[in-house]
Structure 1
Amino acid sequence: MNIKSALIAGFVVASMAASAVSQDRPNIILMMCDDMGWGDTGFNGNAIIETPHLDTIAKEGAILNHFYSVGPVCSPTRASFLTGRHYFRMGVWTANKGHLPKEEYTVARMLKAEGYTTGHFGKWHLGTLDKVISSKGKGRRPEANYAPPWERDYDVSFVTESAVCTWDPGIGSRAKNNPYYENGVPTHENVLGCDSRVLMDRVIPFIQNAAHSDTPFLAVVWFHAPHENIQAGPEYLKMYEGHGEAAHYYGCITAVDDQVGRLRAELEKLGVADNTALFFCSDNGPEGAVPKDRSKTRRAGSAGEFTGRKRDVTDGGVRVPALALWLGRIQPGSFIDVPMSVLDYLPTVRAMTDASLPDGRKLDGENILPILCGDSKEHRTAIPFRYQKHACLVKGKYKLIIESPDDNALDRLFDLSKDVAESNNILAQYPEIAQQMRAEILAFLASAKASHNGSDYGVSSYTPVDPWEELGKQTAKRKKKTDKQAVR
């Protein structure tokens, strides 16, 4: 065979292989809102906020009614979302602390190794995007926490380090030292108007390019809305006239919904909708206390019937709206009440794509595809939480919250199947269950501490950026500082 014939044959084989991957493995879209409460969507019963496109996904796929962000603030959730591992394993204690270590094996790295093209769009919040400046100032230690998506296995990225205003994101106080970076370069092109539209303007071409080249894709889309600064565009404010300041909050969510609809229309147009799986959730519960008259505040989010809000480990802070859609695999109109979390994304995507994880690293989530497809009603792996002075575990219908590794006097045990408000501590009635769950929490924390010190990475020189945060050792001064950072 001459050189020309060999090249042609090689091209044909490569094209056939790429086509086989595209046909056999689904495209993956992972979407997440910022500070959206469990009760902020139509599919979860909100009678004011219009979310017709998300509601359609709920009808064509599954509502994940008992889904956890794991983190009660954004950065921790994002770390777990991409890795399938608890954020304490990598030192992302809270918002604006730590970063995504390059040694972590993410969903992007996993799928890139399988021939997927990978893209990340929207908020990043897993490290700084510049070694000198940060939107959070020098205290963020820009060089020590430099961890941009273009160095974390994304072929394409359009991201901000942290939150921006939901209208005109390219200007204003939130944009200071916090520009959009397009593939690693700060940009001021097309960064005005509705932020959700600005994001989707980059997502659509990425998907078009992948579809036209018959390449499977991973698109991670992290909307900024409805995080502060909350501002809706004129057309959305008009939709919610009469709702005062809350109209901005409602309008931001409907703007997200419109862009989800735009995305789905493009998938249909490109002929890839049937082979694209979509997931949607929020990163934590809604921000701030809400007065009885919601019209007086833009912090109008709803945690539904659950207790607590953002920064709480009670379900109002960590139980979030969630959907899953995979046409032909997930039964339309499914309503799934099994506890699940963002920790399950990576192992589930792994199962959907038949991808491999080369190093056998400890995962804290599990493959929930059998649950999504109706073949199982049990999440076998307990779901761990850790934030400030609290550590928690959800196991089946029970949830245990502890505050000390040594003293169980403040432990609380709840039966979530009967007590969604977490108001009835049943620990005295079920001491053996509480004791077993407490032991499991402490074992998890010991494992996470070892991971934090680099035991999973096989790199002898690995040194974590920040020291381990022992349960029960957080000072009042540190707690106040952490709360202030998380609000920002």
Structure 2
Amino acid sequence: MKTTTFCLFLIFGFLGLAFISEGQSQNQPNIILLLGDDHGWDETGYNGHPYLKTPVLDELAKTGVRMNRFYSASPVCSPTRGSILTGRHPNRYGTFTPGFSIRPEEISIAQLLQSQGYATAHFGKWHVGPVKASSPTNPGALGFDEWLSHDNFFEMNPALSRNGADPEIFEGESSEILVREAKKFIKQSIAGGKPFFVVIWYGSPHEPYSGLEEDLGLYEDLPDTFATKTVRLTSNETGSPVERLQRDVLQERFAEITAMDRSIGELRGFLKEENLRSNTLFWYFGDNGTPREANATVPFREEKGSIYEGGIRVPSVLEWPNKIDESLILDVNMNSSDVFPTICDILEIPLPNRPIDGISLLPWLEGASTPRPRTMKFWNGRPQNPQTAATYIDPKLQEGTSPLVKLMNGKATRDFRNYIQTEIIPSDFLGARAIIDNQYKLVIQEDDEGRPVLELFDLSVDQSESKNIVKDYPELAQNLQEELRIWQQSVLESLIGKDYKK
């Protein structure tokens, strides 16, 4: 009898723990954000790619939320990462382009979730500052309890820093390594009775490319049409530029995407096994458009680095079974700056008292069919006189430590910078910029003589941005231009530090 009672106690105790891990608190879902590095909009099976195999992302798009008009806040990686962390356009804090760090005074979503009792962790590419312990912009300083991270991108057998320590080599396929480490952290968080916030920023599919034999074998028969073009990228052997046939490059790139897709499936399967999937918000998207060497099937204009659609349209899929019990296909405009306010809205956390460029997407996740109430704005800005400007952070603290293949000035790592700006001058408003409402997109760039060139596109019928209709709608173009200029003024006021003043 005692044995039977004890066994029943164990059984019901185990079931109770399982129930807690599944439900924890309906107001505190677990959250996992996954980010592909240079993964363009068309590079998924569900978006119609003719060769790529992405069965997990395809399944998420079929059963979860498929965001057809999702944008990265920037056409390059570091700024987009800053937008995810802060909900703010990266020019507000000087993260203009890769190699520019975030500023320590920024408020990150990890810090807010940490204050709500979440266990927080970052895995993979950081790229908004060094990951070493002394850096004031490492993941720990931005709210992550633990991190296994790299200053920049990485390939097979990556060198990663654990909680700011000297980097160590992890043998294997990098996407699999990150998921393996994330699973350990999740188990630890659940054992401690905490909801978790896990950020996985993959090193894939950023060049230089490499892949497992099993994944490379899937793409041995790419069309001969890809073998007529030579592209330039980094050599895995020398770290310097090399020219190769695009077909060979795509074989390796597609292998990386397939491996990343498989790791996403492994993590999703783990959540199901641990009774965590129902109450976990699971969100994947890319950080910018397809890079030039891989641009073979992009249906949009241009590629990474450009504010045309090819540089900023990215794949995005999400699932959260407890909240979203049927599949959704969303055609409303969304972007990476929306992550921060969306999570805050879900958890009923007040937004910080400073300009937030994103909006909450919760209404659309709950079934709203209304258009986006605010325009989206993009801007490839730049600092004033970086050769003479004072730095925002001690350059020693901005030196990277984690090695990577690609050399820059002979150095196999990356350092960061962020410049102090104290005034706003007319030239600060320059740089490629765009504003998108629910139908039209205005693009402004300067010509060789510094004169603004305006292009207006109707994205509802011209997603390839092939027909400039600015002469047909001069009043609309003027209104959008004025709105964009007002927003730029706000961004520049943030840049000179007004948001940080008490």
CA contact (8 A) 1:348 1:366 kept: yes
DSSP 3-state at the match of 2:263: helix
Moved more, 208-217 or 84-93: 208-217
Offset, 1:301:
6.0
Task: Report the counterpart of residue 375 of structure 1 in structure 2.
Answer: 368
CA contact (8 A) 1:286 1:301 kept: no
Distance in 1, matches of 2:283 and 2:78, equals 19
DSSP 3-state at the match of 1:63: strand
Offset, 1:360:
1.7
Distance in 1, matches of 2:176 and 2:210, equals 14
Q: CA RMSD in A?
A: 2.2
| Residues 248-301 of structure 1: per-residue CA shift (max 9 Å, x gap) | 111100100111011011111111110001111101011114xxxxxxxxx366
1:385 to 2:378 alignment? yes
Offset, 1:157:
0.5
Offset, 1:186:
2.3
| Residues 219-258 of structure 1: per-residue CA shift (max 9 Å, x gap) | 1111110101110111211222223512211110010011
1:417 to 2:407 alignment? no
CA contact (8 A) 1:19 1:215 kept: no
Task: Report the counterpart of residue 335 of structure 1 in structure 2.
Answer: 329
Residue 163 of structure 1 aligns to which amino acid in structure 2? F
| Structure 1 counterpart of 2:51, from 45, 48, 53 | 48
1:318 to 2:312 alignment? yes
1:127 to 2:129 alignment? yes
| Structure 1 counterpart of 2:442, from 395, 400, 407 | 400
| Structure 2 counterpart of 1:169, from 149, 158, 164 | 158
Task: Report the counterpart of residue 150 of structure 2 in structure 1.
Answer: 160
| Residues 320-370 of structure 1: per-residue CA shift (max 9 Å, x gap) | 01112111433533111111100100100111122233x422100101111
| Structure 2 counterpart of 1:363, from 356, 359, 367 | 356
Distance in 2, matches of 1:23 and 1:156, equals 25
DSSP 3-state at the match of 2:453: coil
1:81 to 2:80 alignment? no
Distance in 2, matches of 1:264 and 1:37, equals 22
TM-score (norm 2): 0.77
Fraction of identical pairs, as percent: 34
Offset, 1:403:
2.5
Residue 97 of structure 2 aligns to which amino acid in structure 1? T
CA contact (8 A) 2:32 2:198 kept: yes
CA contact (8 A) 2:33 2:199 kept: yes
Distance in 1, matches of 2:191 and 2:127, equals 31
Task: Report the counterpart of residue 193 of structure 1 in structure 2.
Answer: 172
Distance in 2, matches of 1:18 and 1:329, equals 16
Task: Report the counterpart of residue 60 of structure 2 in structure 1.
Answer: 57
1:151 to 2:141 alignment? yes
Do the aligned partners of residues 20 and 279 (structure 1) sit closer, same or farther apart at CA in structure 2, a change above 3 Å counting?
A: closer
Do the aligned partners of residues 385 and 102 (structure 1) sit closer, same or farther apart at CA in structure 2, a change above 3 Å counting?
A: same
Offset, 1:377:
2.5
Do the aligned partners of residues 301 and 168 (structure 1) sit closer, same or farther apart at CA in structure 2, a change above 3 Å counting?
A: farther
Offset, 1:101:
1.4
Offset, 1:373:
2.2
Distance in 2, matches of 1:40 and 1:19, equals 33
Q: Which residues of 2 match residues 448-467 of structure 1 at below 5 A?
A: 448-458=491-501
Offset, 1:168:
2.3
CA contact (8 A) 2:56 2:262 kept: yes
Q: Which residues of 2 match residues 291-306 of structure 1 at below 5 A?
A: 299=294, 302-303=297-298, 305-306=299-300
TM-score (norm 1): 0.80
Residue 439 of structure 2 aligns to which amino acid in structure 1? K
Distance in 1, matches of 2:454 and 2:35, equals 32
| Structure 2 counterpart of 1:352, from 346, 352, 359 | 346
Offset, 1:29:
0.7
Task: Report the counterpart of residue 5 of structure 1 in structure 2.
Answer: none
DSSP 3-state at the match of 2:488: helix
Distance in 1, matches of 2:77 and 2:174, equals 18
Moved more, 328-337 or 99-108: 328-337
DSSP 3-state at the match of 1:399: strand
Distance in 2, matches of 1:302 and 1:30, equals 27
Residue 321 of structure 1 aligns to which amino acid in structure 2? P
Offset, 1:423:
1.2
1:250 to 2:263 alignment? no
Task: Report the counterpart of residue 277 of structure 2 in structure 1.
Answer: 273
Do the aligned partners of residues 450 and 284 (structure 1) sit closer, same or farther apart at CA in structure 2, a change above 3 Å counting?
A: same
Task: Report the counterpart of residue 32 of structure 1 in structure 2.
Answer: 35
DSSP 3-state at the match of 1:274: coil
CA contact (8 A) 1:211 1:270 kept: no
| Residues 1-42 of structure 1: per-residue CA shift (max 9 Å, x gap) | xxxxxxxxxxxxxxxx99996343111111110011111111
Task: Report the counterpart of residue 196 of structure 2 in structure 1.
Answer: 217
Residue 362 of structure 2 aligns to which amino acid in structure 1? L
DSSP 3-state at the match of 1:181: strand
CA contact (8 A) 1:280 1:324 kept: yes
Residue 109 of structure 2 aligns to which amino acid in structure 1? V
| Structure 2 counterpart of 1:182, from 146, 162, 185 | 162
| Residues 95-149 of structure 1: per-residue CA shift (max 9 Å, x gap) | 112x121211111011111111111111000012349xxxxxxxxxxx9x85211
Offset, 1:69:
0.3
CA contact (8 A) 1:368 1:379 kept: no
Ranges in structure 1 where 5+ consecutive residues have no aligned partner:
1-16, 132-142, 171-179, 290-298, 460-488
